[in-house]
Amino acid sequence: MEASDRPHVVPEITEKPKPPERETVVKAIEAIENGPASLRVYMEICAKCGTCADQCPTYYGSPEKSRNPAARSDLVRSIYRRHKTLGGKLLGDLTGAHDYSEGDIENWVQSFYECTACRRCATFCPFGIDNSVITRKGRAIIHSLGLTPQRLLDITEISLTTGNTDGCGKEGFEEAIRFLEEEIEDECGVRVSIPLDVEGAEYLYVPPSGDVLVNPEATMAVAKIFHKLGISWTMSSSYFDGANYGLFTGDDAAMKEENKHYYEEAKRLRVKNMMCGECGHAYRIFKFMMEKGKWWGELPFNVTNVLPFTAKLIDEGRITLDKSKNPEPVTYHDPCNFGRSCNIVDEPRTILQAACEDYREMTPSGTDNWCCGGGGGLAAMDDLREFRMTVSGKKKMEQIRDTGAEFVTTACANCKRQITQLMEYYGMDVRVGGVHDLVFTSIVM
């Protein structure tokens, strides 16, 4: 399918006449009564103990009531209580119930786009209440009213029309790939190819587009690894970007439509494995929604990720890395969607400990790691930059500073953008890159 043939879904939604605000909000919240089960239980059992506020990067940066996770979730919860609980109907505000007023949506947009959906609160909440699910519900309602921030709408539209979030056409991509092949040859003197659209390959590599167009070292590293192993692989020149902003905007239809292109492309190419690159939310969608959630039934391919892939190769001694190529102190920032949501915690460490001489942990790390401050799509929004620097990203800056690392690695294009901006904002001389950037520089060919 050519780019111009693809349907423009998002503009059609925004061009529709605005739905009635109050009715839309109340109806959507009343529907929580019918599930999902966890969301409904979240409406009913929060004990208001304040633990989430202690663990929230946004509240840490600015402890105001509007930024307290429980208060944010109460935007939805109070309306549910007012309309769907006996206490709320009879006693109203006394039970924390509160009706929705026309115009509240403005506050909603601001509040739900100040939550980075990092799920850190869920790992500390004694009841396991996952506020990110409530945030996503709030954003879905905002989306149904056509009020999703323009930047995220644009990215979703670009991605649906061009197949990638950078809006890069087929020719542009092929040119970029030829350039990377030349780069690798210049750097290590070996001709390493990056195959495109090869049917029947073992692996289809799907990175975030930034790992081809902006920080391409990770993709060059993957090319080197496959060259070394002699295993067939390919990239798709039409679909080379796992990023999927429907996860962030709460737009399930767009999320699924976007995902379907990748499913069909992997099927068309008859690959054995779809291997996601360093993009946590893409992997989360591919692995836990598309595959385990059986969006398209049983898949004719496996869904894997490049971090466990490379870690296993190192463990088995099938590739060798030369630590001395990366002497500076290096740390790793666990992206929320890799650590907390996909439990990929040990693998990047296996790679980094083999690839650099001085690996340092942040405190805390792994599934308890603090969000970079740009999660949930916030990193892409320039009008939130001041907020991301001074509020949601403050803790991350302090964590990085405390490691003394000169190079922060992370496996997420949005984390990279956010942390790069943080280092600039706070005048810290720290480089930012992917885990495989260090594989690229250290792999013994």
**Which positions lie near other proteins, rule CB under 8 A?**
34-42, 44-51, 53-55, 59, 63, 65, 68, 70-71, 74, 85-87, 91, 93-96, 119, 122-130, 133, 136, 284, 288-289, 292-293, 340-343, 368
Structure tokens at 20: 């009635």
- Using the minimum distance from each CB to other proteins, give the nearer residue, 54 or 398: 54
Give the strands of the sheet with 203-206, arranged side by side: 233-234, 203-206, 273-276, 302-305
Pick 181 or 368: Cβ nearer other proteins: 368
Q: What are phi and psi of 79, to 5 degrees?
A: -75, -40
Q: CA of 254: how far to CAs of 102, 251, 285, 294, in Å? A: 27, 6, 13, 17
Sign of CA dihedral 238, 241, 246, 252: positive
In the complex, what is the shortest distance from the CB of residue 305 to other proteins, in angstroms, rounded to a whole number? 13
Q: If we measure between CA atoms, which residue out of 78, 414, 125, 398 comes closest to residue 244?
A: 414
Cis peptide before 327 (omega within 30 of 0): no
Looking at the Cβ atoms of 119 and 227, the one nearer to other proteins is 119
> Min. distance of Cβ 128 from other proteins in angstroms?
4
Task: Give one DSSP letter per residue of 142-204, joined into a string.
Answer: HHHTT-S-HHHHHHHHHHHHHSSTT---HHHHHHHHHHHHHHHHHHHS------BS-TT-SEE
CB of 135 to other proteins, least distance (A): 11
CB of 299 to other proteins, least distance (A): 15
Closer to other proteins at the Cβ: 85 or 392? Answer: 85
Shortest CB 141 distance to other proteins, Å = 15
Least separation in angstroms between residue 42's CB and other proteins is 7
CA 219, 221, 226, 227 torsion: positive or negative? positive
Q: What is the DSSP letter of 371?
A: P
Element (H, E) at 210: helix 210-213
- Of 88 and 208, nearer to other proteins (C-beta) is 88
* Smallest gap from residue 77 Cβ to other proteins (A): 10
Q: How far apart are CA 3 and CA 314, in angstroms?
A: 39
Q: Taking the complex as a whole, how short is the minimal distance between the CB of residue 174 and other proteins, in angstroms?
A: 36
Q: Rounded to the nearest whole angstrom, what is the least distance from the CB of residue 341 to other proteins in the complex?
A: 6
Closest to other proteins by CB, 70 vs 423, is 70
Q: Which helix (H) or strand (E) holds 360?
A: strand 358-360
Instruction: For the CB of residue 176, give the shortest distance to other proteins in the complex, in Å.
Output: 33
Nearer to other proteins, 47 or 444 (CB): 47
Residue among 97 and 212 whose Cβ is closer to other proteins: 97
Map tokens 């690839």 to a residue. 355
Q: Closer to other proteins at the Cβ: 91 or 445?
A: 91
User: Which residue, 94 or 427, is less far from other proteins as judged by CB?
Assistant: 94
136 closest CA partner among 17, 15, 42:
42
Smallest separation (angstroms) from other proteins to the CB of 79: 14
Q: Looking at beta carbons, which pairs linking 385-391 to residues 24 or more positions away fall under 8 Å? A: 385/421, 387/114, 388/418, 388/421, 388/422, 389/421, 389/422, 389/425, 389/426, 390/61, 390/62, 391/58, 391/61, 391/62, 391/67, 391/114
Which of 119, 396 has the CB closer to other proteins? 119
Nearest-CA neighbor of 39 among 52, 24, 28? Answer: 28
